[in-house]
Amino acid sequence: MPQSSPISSVNDFVVRFANVNGSGSASANELFARAVLRMGIPVSPRNIFPSNIQGLPTWYEVRVTEAGHLGARGGVDLMVAMNPQTWDKDVASIEPGGYLLYDSTRPIPPAKFRSDITVVGVPLTAICNREYSDPRQRQLFKNIIYLGALTALLDMDVGEVEKLIGEQFKGKDKLIAPNVRALHLGRDYALTNLPCPLGLRLKRAQAVGDRIFIEGNSAAALGAVYGGATVCAWYPIAPSPSLAEAFSRHCARLRVARETKKNKFAVVQAEDELASIGMVIGAAWNGARAFTATSGPGLSLMQEFIGLAYFAEVPTVLIDVQRGGPSTGMPTRTQQSDILLAAYSSHGDTKHVLLFPEDPAEAFEFTAQAFDLADRLQTPIMVMLDLDIGMNHRLCQPLTWDDSRKYDRGKVMTAAELEAGKDFGRYLDVDDDGIPYRTYPGTHPTEGSFFTRGTSRDRYARYTEDGSAYVDNMQRLLRKFETAKELVPRPVARAALKPTRYGVIYFGSTSPPMDEAVAMLQDDGKHVDMLRVRAFPFHQSVADFVADHDFVFVVEQNRDAQLRMLLVNECSLDPVRLVPVLHYDGTPITARFIANAIGDHLDALKITPLRKVVS
Amino acid sequence: MTYLAKPKFYHPALPKNELGYTHRDYEGSVSTLCAGCGHDSISGAIIQACFELSVEPHKVAKLSGIGCSSKTPTYFLGHSHGFNSVHGRMPSVLTGANLANRDLIYLGVSGDGDSASIGIGQFVHAIRRGVNMLYIVENNGVYGLTKGQFSATADRGSKSKRGAVNSDSSVDLVAMALQVGATFVARSFSGDKRQLVPLIKAAIEHRGAAFIDVISPCIAFNNHVGSTKSFDYVREHNIAVNRLDFITGRAPIHVDYAPGAVEIVEQHDGSRLALRKVAPEYDPHNRLSAMNYLQERAAAGEIVTGLLYVEHDSSDLHEHLNTVETPLNALDTEELCPGSQALDQINAGLR
């Protein structure tokens, strides 16, 4: 008998599916998450997968959260244990009072279970062997059968799953009936033989609203389509390929000329990251909007070219879907550990504009905006996504577009202006904002041509090694970086319920768990003001926020407190006032982790040190 | 002084081309390479070819990597946009530029260090993709700017100026270009303008990846006895397989060679190549036999020059990608942005 009483919860629990990579479980698991969503209950699913195609363990975790907490929670309430390789670890990870669903075809020694959890067995293999003769079907339908059992065990609306199966196999209609049948094999077994429902239940709610369910990589790719990108050059590297592939897919639907059936886009899979960024720079130099998507190792390879784009002032958009580093690191795990590499990419004195989207909706918005920023500032713009946002379906606000918006192509001198005799100096700061005019190749027969180079030059793009001309140019680039501060997305501040001397700075995928952590701290009587940084260079309000508080926690997903370093360095802040809160084991940061770290620190501050009274 | 403008003054009686431009309109600034450098002769050949073709100078984009050869785009076509990129990476920058605007002529200038060593990957892949370009390697077998180290095209056994013997086997860029699918491949010699100019003209008009390997002796570091890239050595070992005359699609065909000795090759744009065969057994339309012939002659110590391979129905990257006729850089918001209605539909499909 369980020692802990079974967990009882409606619309607030975590289900984890433990599977073998390549067994076809992903689509069944995703059906589960979508069906919960269709019941009006927010979910936050996460793929936890190895760098492998077949055979290694993989997990899919679904946080069911009517309250809308979209960050990872930590802990598992119901484990669907389908992988013997990871059985012990999976069983151990269940919360006391939690539940275990397993394939009971073959007996498992009692020692392999725990006494403080509820164990539910479904003879999945036996059912499959009875019903199907084809080994592939036996494998695939096993997943649908456990999904069917879950509909009964969790009191789920089976109609929603059936509807989703119908949508999924639209056009391949003969697959619908066998899938629905498999679903009911599992459901009927559970209803007949198991204590349905368990303590964990689903109840139809109205908590989803008009939000959409999309992966960050796909949303960013849509942002590139809407932002006017016509050239995408990329090299496959986890976790970014789905972004470039989504761009191709979206373009095939949205960017083909109606009459000629010709493409208003070009996608090239390059031979390496050096070539992909080179192609982007060449295309952008020639007046097309171009981008690449990569991750840390790719960004390392691109360093030389990024320096060229900075110094020669070529608008370049780069999306970094960050993963665990350094080196090959953890290719399929998440981190925010490319911040410093991105901010100061390449040799010599350089600084780059970074954008930090918090979710797919911002990934869409910031990617589209990155092309305007790149053209306006004539410099590389890096959109810093990460695996947690990029490769997981996330519930977010619907994507929006203002039809009156026109692309800002920045300062481009036209043939007419050149013809009229307007002075053209490629590196001439005519508006005192550090941003010069450029011309596209082929604009005018005799005026406006220039030589683009990574070597030093004067204001008229003529090669020079003269020290004062070099310094003049470098100072202008700094002025341009100042201009960028006013153009990039502003930080978002949220004041605590009660006045407080403490603040917290965070960014990117830390956003959902941060919201939840602050709510947890609040319940504990601890208050912190929040500031979500959305871009580098930092707006003045970031330094002001730090100045307004005794201590500011800086929460990030890397070992070395990279954003904190950037803050200290760029805003000349006293490091003592910035308290790092760091999570970097490759799993997404959780609200529990943040709340504990900040809570412990605040508790420690309350302890008044004993002092000898000096008489 | 690091930058020398050329005086604009020129003689009023200079011949003009169809566009009314003189030879001088295709020049760049004064070369800062060593006096007698083979590369300057190649710049001269490019100027002459563009003048004779009546190319609009601003409709050419000239791109290069790093090195002596990569400096030369400053010394020709002063009204063209140029891009001196990073070492060995010109091919990718050119590929991107070409994707952005299919209407310009793309001239990639590189060297043997740039293309056969650091940039060998990009060289191969740009050619594989069939980027519509003329890719010229100014091949001297040494690193000039860093004072005479061997490059990857230096022949095994050749001697450096300091007396060191190269023990590595050499990369033959022509053989590589053929192997990875270039649709126009030629080799020439900077000292043979009569051969080089028509090759450049034909390559410019060619659709697809055109590659010319131009042996261009380095007067400072690789023009001594024992070098296989010196003026004397190349002159002695050069065997031309053919002589080319280039006839644009606009001009009437007029060939004054004896019948039988000349083959007319029609290119995609209507231009014609009058090919006078010197080696009768050489077939420039057969990739396999061309590769074979080159290997055989190389083994015999000969440097084969001329038009080595040309494909009739060549295609290019834009054709493979099925891109619109309008240059991608000329498409505006209306043509590129699907708008809010399409986005609403996308949102509806994500619930």
Mean pLDDT of chain B: 91
* Chain-chain contact of B3 with A462 (C-beta, under 8 angstroms): yes
Name which of A82, A7, A8, A16 is nearest A44 in CA terms: A16
For residue A559, the model assigns a pLDDT of 98
pLDDT, tens only, A56-81: 999 999 999 999 999 999 999 999 99
Segments making up each domain of chain A, as ranges = 9-201, 214-396, 415-487, 492-606
> Does a structural domain hold residue B341?
no
Q: Euclidean distance between the first and final Cα of chain A, in Å?
A: 64
Q: How far is CA A176 from the centre of its chain?
A: 33
> Complex ipTM, two decimals?
0.95
Domain A9-201 has CATH 3.40.1030.10: no
In this chain, the answer to whether the domains covering A9-201 and A492-606 adopt an identical fold is: no
Class of CATH domain A492-606:
alpha beta
B84-117 burial code (b ≥16 CB/10 A, e <16): bbbbbbbbbbbbbbbbbbbebbbbbbbbbbbbbb
- DSSP assigned state of B272: E
> Does a structural domain hold residue B13?
no
Report the C-alpha gap between B206 and B107 in whole angstroms: 12
**How many CB pairs below 8 A link A and B?**
235
> Does a structural domain hold residue B209?
yes
For residue A532, the model assigns a pLDDT of 98
Report the C-alpha gap between B160 and B324 in whole angstroms: 51
Report the C-alpha gap between A594 and A585 in whole angstroms: 14
3-class DSSP state of B179? helix
For residue A2, the model assigns a pLDDT of 46
The answer to whether B158 touches B184, Cβ cutoff 8 Å, is no
One-character DSSP codes across B288-299: HHHHHHHHHHHH
Distances (CA, A) of A18 to A26, A56, A72: 11, 11, 17
For residue B277, the model assigns a pLDDT of 77
* Chain-chain contact of A266 with B59 (C-beta, under 8 angstroms): no
Class of CATH domain A214-396:
alpha beta
* Chain-chain contact of A439 with B125 (C-beta, under 8 angstroms): no
Q: Which helix (H) or strand (E) holds B144?
A: none
Q: How confident is the model at residue B3 (pLDDT cuts 50, 70, 90)?
A: low
Please check the confidence at residue B2 and state whether its pLDDT lies above 50: no
> Does a structural domain hold residue B105?
yes
Residue with tokens 């993963």: A323
Q: Which helix (H) or strand (E) holds B235?
A: helix B231-237
Give me the residues of B, 56-85, that contact A with CB < 8 A: 56-59, 61, 63, 73-74, 78-85
Nearest-CA residue of chain A relative to B122? A275
Residue with tokens 């084969």: B304
What length is written for chain B?
A: 351
The answer to whether B53 touches B248, Cβ cutoff 8 Å, is yes
For residue B267, the model assigns a pLDDT of 76
Residue with tokens 């690193």: B143
pLDDT, tens only, B135-194: 999 999 999 889 889 999 999 999 999 999 999 999 999 999 999 999 999 999 999 999
Confirm or reject contact between A465 and chain B (CB < 8 A).
yes
Report the C-alpha gap between A535 and A532 in whole angstroms: 9
The answer to whether B233 touches B155, Cβ cutoff 8 Å, is no
Residues in B touching A222 (Cβ below 8 Å): 343, 346
CATH number, domain of B126, equals: 3.40.50.970
Name which of B94, B98, B165, B175 is nearest B139 in CA terms: B175
Confirm or reject contact between B105 and chain A (CB < 8 A).
no
Residues in B touching A443 (Cβ below 8 Å): 58
Six token digits for residue B105:
């002529």
Please check the confidence at residue B1 and state whether its pLDDT lies above 70: no
Six token digits for residue A251:
């373009």
Cβ-based neighbours of A230, under 8 Å, separated by 6 or more: A264, A265, A266, A283, A288, A289, A290, B99, B100, B328, B329, B331, B336
* Chain-chain contact of A442 with B61 (C-beta, under 8 angstroms): yes
> Does a structural domain hold residue B306?
yes
pLDDT, tens only, B37-58: 999 999 999 999 999 999 999 9
For residue A206, the model assigns a pLDDT of 98
For residue B272, the model assigns a pLDDT of 78
Number of domains in chain B: 1
Six token digits for residue B314:
């060549």
3-class DSSP state of B169? coil
Residue with tokens 């949303």: A219
Determine the residue among B4, B64, B85 to mutate to test chain A binding: the one whose Cβ has the most chain A Cβ atoms within 10 Å.
Answer: B85
Q: How far is CA B279 from the centre of its chain?
A: 24
3-class DSSP state of B307? strand
Who among A212, A225, A462 is closest to B338 (CB)? A225
> Does a structural domain hold residue B301?
yes
Six token digits for residue A22:
């390549």
Residue type present at position A474: M
> Does a structural domain hold residue B9?
no
> Does a structural domain hold residue B164?
yes
For residue A24, the model assigns a pLDDT of 86
Owning domain of residue B193 = 23-333
- DSSP assigned state of A590: B
- Opening angle at CA A287, ends A283 and A291, nearest 5: 45
Residue numbers in chain A where pLDDT is lower than 50? 1-2
